[in-house]
């Protein structure tokens, strides 16, 4: 028989998130691997979605998103960041940020285009480049600071560079890139006439640092595609409401592609999220969000240090990166398997986020978007790690 699988899938493997979640379930481990909350989202949003369903708002909606949500997103970006986006021509709603990324790259890339990726990077970026026959070009964010190196980034640009993907706050490193780093990238993109795709889904989960939208850097707005989502901010990851904001000329090809992927995103959830987008920056919701995650971060971080893991400061997102070098098992994949099966806590090996040669294999990532009682239970189990430290 003829080969059934497309050649585009030759380098595609099962996602590390699926692998570790399956392993966690099999061994009854506390799942601190996959990045989703195990607690409920806000009642007012669930009530709004139910209200929309009861009002029979259950049929197809416009492919680009309902006007109410696009207009609310426009107001939000003006209110929070003083950025102006036309809801009719510059804002598009997608079935999650991953679909927004897929439609964006598919709408702008041609065969042979180069896409600059900062590694370690979220595992969806490289496959989408492969699907579009473009070439990912990796720039290493060096452990332990994970800062952008001017020399490295300058060398990555050439006449074939179509765009660069920036994720801030960053998954998996938990860094919040500062304005100087963003401006450096922006200047190089202007100089080399290429585009910037910025993944900002964790924009409201920051701690000691403040998130700066790439589009707010002077002179960049007309070449930036901002991708974000409601999933992380409102702890409703299963609703899959993402969006992209970009200049009208950039938005057009992205929308043309999107209409043949999912066509539209479920309407009741869009009507609910239109209410969420109208929250003010000083709304207690955002204060509580930060405080609740700060408590969770500090609880887990303290325990990881106590049992012998060296951690890296979490500036944003809900992840902690830990160095396992002080343990007898120093390969991250083996360590995560051991941690899940023997200790009863699941984490992600960071080598899954590296694609270039010389992968870093001594780091693992923990997720703390979990109930306090589950984090406390994980902390109790992690006590057993102490006996596996190097002598």
The answer to whether residues 347 and 365 touch, using CB atoms and an 8 Å cutoff, is yes
Output the pLDDT for position 390: 87
Output the pLDDT for position 11: 83
Read off the pLDDT of residues 17-35 as tens digits, 9 standing for 90 and up.
999 999 999 999 999 999 9
Output the pLDDT for position 339: 98
Where are any strands of DSSP class E within 54-142? 91-94, 114-119, 135-140
Read off the pLDDT of residues 255-307 as tens digits, 9 standing for 90 and up.
999 999 999 999 999 999 999 999 999 999 999 999 999 999 999 999 999 99
| DSSP SS3 for 161 | strand
Distance CA 292, CA 302 (A): 16
The answer to whether residues 70 and 86 touch, using CB atoms and an 8 Å cutoff, is no
Distance CA 170, CA 189 (A): 20
Domains and CATH numbers, the chain: 7-41+284-385 (3.90.1150.10), 43-277 (3.40.640.10)
- Local mean pLDDT, 10-residue blocks, the chain (391 residues): 88 89 96 95 98 98 98 98 98 98 98 97 94 95 94 94 98 97 97 98 97 97 98 97 98 98 97 97 97 98 97 97 96 97 97 88 97 98 94 65
Report the DSSP beta bridge partners of residue 322. Answer: 311, 364
Output the pLDDT for position 230: 97
Distance CA 144, CA 157 (A): 25
């Amino acid at each position: 028989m003829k080969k059934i699988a497309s050649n585009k899938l030759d380098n595609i493997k099962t996602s590390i998130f699926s692998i570790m979640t399956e392993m966690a379930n099999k061994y009854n481990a506390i799942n601190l691997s996959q990045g989703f909350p195990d607690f409920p989202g806000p009642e007012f949003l669930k009530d709004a979605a139910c209200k929309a369903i009861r009002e029979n708002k259950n049929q197809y909606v416009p492919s680009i998103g309902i006007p109410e949500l696009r207009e609310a997103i426009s107001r939000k970006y003006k209110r929070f960041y003083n950025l102006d986006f036309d809801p009719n021509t510059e804002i598009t709603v997608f079935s999650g940020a991953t679909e927004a990324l897929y439609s964006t790259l598919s709408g702008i890339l041609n065969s042979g285009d180069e896409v600059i990726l900062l590694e370690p990077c979220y595992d969806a970026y490289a496959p989408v480049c492969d699907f579009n026959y473009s070439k990912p070009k990796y720039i290493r964010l060096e452990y332990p600071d994970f800062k952008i190196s001017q020399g490295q980034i300058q060398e990555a640009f050439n006449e074939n560079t179509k765009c660069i993907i920036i994720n801030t706050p960053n998954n998996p490193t938990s860094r919040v890139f500062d304005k100087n780093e963003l401006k450096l990238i922006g200047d190089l993109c202007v100089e080399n006439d290429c585009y910037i795709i910025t993944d900002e889904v964790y924009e409201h989960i920051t701690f000691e640092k403040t998130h700066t939208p790439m589009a707010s850097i002077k002179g960049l707005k007309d070449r930036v595609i901002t991708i974000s989502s409601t999933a992380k901010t409102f702890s409703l990851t299963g609703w899959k409401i993402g969006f992209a904001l970009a200049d009208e000329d950039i938005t057009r090809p992205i929308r043309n592609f999107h209409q043949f992927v999912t066509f539209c995103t479920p309407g009741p959830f869009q009507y609910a999220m239109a209410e969420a987008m109208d929250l003010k920056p000083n709304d207690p919701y955002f204060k509580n969000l930060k405080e609740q995650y700060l408590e969770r971060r500090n609880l887990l971080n303290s325990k990881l240090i106590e049992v012998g893991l060296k951690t890296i400061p979490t500036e944003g997102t809900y992840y902690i990166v830990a160095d396992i070098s002080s343990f007898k098992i120093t390969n991250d994949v083996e360590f995560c398997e051991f941690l899940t099966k023997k200790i009863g806590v699941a984490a992600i090996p960071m080598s899954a986020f590296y694609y270039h040669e010389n992968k870093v294999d001594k780091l693992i990532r923990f997720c703390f978007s979990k109930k306090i009682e589950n984090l406390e239970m994980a902390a109790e189990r992690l006590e057993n790690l102490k006996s596996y430290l190097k002598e």
